[in-house]
Amino acid sequence: MEVDAADRKVQEAEDAVAEQRQVVVKAEQGVNDAETLLDNAELSLRNYEDYKKLRGALAA
């Protein structure tokens, strides 16, 4: 009886660890997505700054 209860506790702990691993994987994916968005925003800003410079040069 005690062995069965211990086995259940071990299984519950293993299940909890597996769930936490899934949370970590999702969090890592979220971080990667955020880094991609930041990279895209920085690129867009550089492109806009280049556009303003070219526009100013053409107007001169």
**Tell me, what's the pLDDT at 1?**
81
How many structural domains comprise the chain?
A: 1
Residue 52 lies in a domain: yes
**Which of the two residues, 3 and 45, has the higher pLDDT score?**
45
What are the pLDDT digits (tens) for 8-35? 999 999 999 999 999 999 999 999 999 9
Residue 8 lies in a domain: no
> Would you list the DSSP string of 1-57?
-HHHHHHHHHHHHHHHHHHHHHHHHHHHHHHHHHHHHHHHHHHHHHHHHHHHHHHHH
Domain residues for 59? Answer: 22-60
Residue 10 lies in a domain: no
Residue 2 lies in a domain: no
What are the pLDDT digits (tens) for 47-56? 999 999 999 9
**Tell me, what's the pLDDT at 60?**
84
